[in-house]
Structure 1
């Protein structure tokens, strides 16, 4: 499985740092939705789904968390702890997020609006669809 971490150029000086997110430049799709998670309780795992067509870029804007990505054949574990780096999550990729630091703010950019019909929330159904596909 190819996991792509996208470098996001940080600009800064003695006043602080800034990262610009631009579709077609450092974000490889049209941005239709942005959401973020914060104050995740200790020991909580999130995600537990795949998307049929949706693509996302996840950025740990503050703190850190881990991603487990599974394409139905291989699993990888990725630490996100750099606000100047995004994790590209292609469609039909099972994801679980965990090990959130107390201060973690995880921002996600998506190429589509929310659509419950795009979700695969059962891992066995996900594996079946991968094998069919």
Structure 2
């Protein structure tokens, strides 16, 4: 199980060019092989996303456009990250509660997940999450 101390900001390799930059994510970049990619967009600025933890799945969140805040909680400690650069990913290990909020206009959150969607991998109730950490 992860703790807020095991959460990492990953610097995504970028090829810079006057015609525009190119961010590169290859299989050897992440500490896991991603099986699913999804993204959040058109999120109202007052909306709240996340509000869950995973039992077995790891994820990397990237602000492809705009910005949003991610609050992570390991049941003991909380930490907040502002994601606003497309060349930085937030690696969230298993067993970490996450909440996403304060989306800017036009924000796009890309998520690279270590597994396919499985509802039974989600802990969606915070009290259950706290019990699972004991």
Q: Which runs of 4+ in 1 moved over 4 A?
A: none
Find the aligned partners of 2:107 and 2:90 in 1 and give their Cα distance.
15
Q: Considering only aligned residues, what root-mean-square deviation do their CA atoms show, in Å?
A: 0.7
Number of positions where the alignment pairs a residue of Structure 1 with one of Structure 2:
130
Stretches of structure 1 lacking an aligned partner (at least 5 in a row): none
Deviations 1:18-56 (A, max 9, x none): 0111122x2111110000000001200111100001000
Is 2:15 aligned against 1:11? yes
Equivalent residues in 2 for 1:25-44 (5 A)?
A: 26-44=29-47
Match of 1:128 among 119, 126, 131: 131
Q: Structure 2: where are the runs of 5+ without partners?
A: none
What's the TM-score once normalised by structure 2's chain length? 0.95
Task: State which of 66, 72, 76 in structure 1 corresponds to 2:75.
Answer: 72
User: When the two structures are superposed, what TM-score results if normalisation uses the length of structure 1?
Assistant: 0.95
